[in-house]
Structure 1
Amino acid sequence: MSSNTVIVHRGIDSQGEEVIKPYTPTTLDSDVGHFELMYPQGRMSHHFREMRVGDSLAVKGPKGRFRYQPGQVRAFGMLAGGSGITPMLQVARAILENPNDKTKVHLIYANVTYEDILLKEKLDGLAENYPDCFSVYYVLNQPPEGWKGGVGFVSKEMIEEHCPAPASDIQILRCGPPPMNKAMAAHLEELGYTSEMQFQFEV
């Protein structure tokens, strides 16, 4: 499978500018007849909320640089922040829903607050249904009282504890806001992950 991005085009907004936004669907190629998008905030999200039954949008794609074949690696480590969870969910579902694929998936998912966690029910469902193959570790910058997950920003220590160690048969996928991507790249380099062991999604 490939992690696919679709380009959504809404037309001209009230400022006279084109509204175009790439999204990674949370659905798979096997989900025939529809696709699902996450659109938490932004100019396109405003247009989505205003849409009514019968309205239309221009969509092109899918396109994507990440290609995955079952058994390609022994394990994935995934570092996601905010809406960067969407390509991770797409890859994880493709692996976990294939009974012949034994690849392990270890996800670290960072957000500011508990309310910011996207797709938590789906992620928790994967962890419950595939406990031997999928794990998720949530990290919050502003955790609620009694929070049991990670606190602050994703650290080298968190990566060491929750992701597979550097090896030729593992890969680390990352996707998040630019400051997070930059920080994760530095952490991974310090921990000994080569560039061949990493892939950064753009969403």
Structure 2
Amino acid sequence: MAALRTGFKVATLSAVGAGAAYTGYRHYNSTNVYFTAHAESLPSDSQAALKKMDWKGFTEMRLQSAEQVNHNVKKLTFALPTEDSITGISAVTSLLTRHTPEGAFIPVFRPYTPVSDNDLPGTVTFMVKHYPGGKGSTKMHSMKPGDSMLFKTLQEFDYKPNEHQSMLFIAGGSGITPIFQLTRAILRNPEDKTKISLIYANNTEDDILLRKEFEDLEAKYPGRFQKIFTVSKKTSSGDDVETGYVTKQMISKVWSGKAAGQKVLVSGPPAMVEAVSGAKGMAGWTQGSVGGILKELGYTKDDIHKF
């Protein structure tokens, strides 16, 4: 996410990752937040372009439906301003929410990455994990159909088709949502030949978000997309999910090693990001230095982006 994060304090969206209790989510400083992040992508035809939303400020949208996905994740679908509206956002772009808790004076800002298509008319959908005491996720999980929330675009990574020959995505928990958004955008673009490898870590198999969607992508795009799901507590006897932390050996199963034309994206809770690629700097304000497994494999700061 080559970020437009002026005035923001960032700590990665997180969930329980393989082998450790990963908690937290991206936190934003409540000051200096009134900037405009134009992160839209133009639709493919002029008719669709007329429907693209104008993200010049916070836009109010009403919750249309809420579905419990697992013990702590909900799928929340919001209605866009009109039935013909599309978000028009580019990969990777999140929507920043804003609300003021009852009895508080300072608003709360949290980013959530849509998992719905950017050209889907009428609605936008998120996968939101609830964190005990989390002001953003608690608010989102408490919403009922008809309740409203304010949203604004926040571009997180400036992706250009075919800029990299291959990309490795390492994700944990709810950090999978920007990875899913980008993976689908790359694979669905017939002009983009980028190859993708994914390692997705969670605590249990029930925590694997968008599992079927990733399985369908792997089946539809053989040779262009391959994945590994890994968990710390395996409950099935199948061989489609591995057990344990993200390791060098696991990476080698889907990744040939450091070479020209590659990019590695790491998205997940701070503990996982630090173990894989080194912690972000300045409490999440900067990318920080390279460390962890990727440093041992010879990767440099230019090779890696941390969410």
* TM-score (structure 2 length as normaliser): 0.61
The alpha-carbon distance between structure 1 residues 13 and 106, as it changes in their structure 2 partners (threshold 3 A), is farther
Alignment-mate amino acid for residue 229 of structure 2:
Y
Structure 2 unaligned segments of length 5 or more: list them: 1-89, 278-291
Residue 190 in structure 1 maps to residue 282 in structure 2: no
Shift of 1:16: 7.3
Number of the residue aligned with 2:139: 47
1:22-33 paired onto structure 2 within 5 Å: 22-33=111-122
Q: Which amino acid aligns with 1:41?
A: H
Deviation at 1:54, TM superposition (A): 2.4
Percent of residue pairs bearing the same amino acid type: 34
2:217 pairs with 126, 136, 145, which one? 126
In the alignment, structure 1 residue 161 sits paired with structure 2 residue 267: no
Q: Is the contact made by 2:96 and 2:110 (CA closer than 8 Å) also made in structure 1?
A: yes
| C-alpha distance 111-13 of structure 1, shift in aligned 2 (>3 A) | farther
RMSD: 1.9
Q: Which has the greater radius of gyration?
A: 2
Q: Deviations over 1:113-133 (max 9, x none)?
A: 001111111111111111221
1:69 to 160, 165, 182: 160
Q: Quick one: structure 1 residues 53 and 145, their matched pair in 2 at CA, closer, same or farther if it must change by over 3 Å?
A: closer
Contact 1:166–1:192 (8 Å) recurs in 2? yes
* From 35, 38, 49, the counterpart of 2:127: 38
What is the Cα deviation at residue 177 of structure 1?
0.7
Residue 14 (structure 2) aligns with: none
Equivalent pair of 1:164/1:170 in contact (CA under 8 Å):
no
What per-residue deviation string (whole Å, max 9, x for no partner) do you get for residues 80-126 of structure 1?
Answer: 00001011111111110011211111000000000111111111111
Q: Would the alpha carbon gap of residues 14 and 162 (structure 1) be closer, same or farther in structure 2, given more than 3 Å must change?
A: farther
CA distance in 1, matches of 2:144, 2:275: 41
> Which has the larger displacement, 13-22 or 38-47?
13-22
Any idea what the Cα deviations from partners look like across 1:43-101, whole Å, max 9, x if unmatched? Answer: 333333332332211112x1224111111111110000000101111111111001121
Post-superposition CA distance 1:118-162 (Å, at most 9, x none): 111111111111122111100001111414222111111111222
Provide the TM-score with structure 1 as the length reference: 0.90
Number of residue equivalences: 200
CA spacing shift, 1:28–1:79, aligned 2, 3 Å: same
**Are 1:25 and 1:36, in contact at CA under 8 Å, matched by a contact in 2?**
yes
When structure 1 is superposed on structure 2, of 134-143 and 157-166 the one drifting more is 157-166
SS at match of 1:36: strand
- Match of 1:25, SS? coil
Q: Is the 8 A contact 1:76 1:164 kept in 2?
A: no
Q: What does residue 265 of structure 2 align with?
A: 173
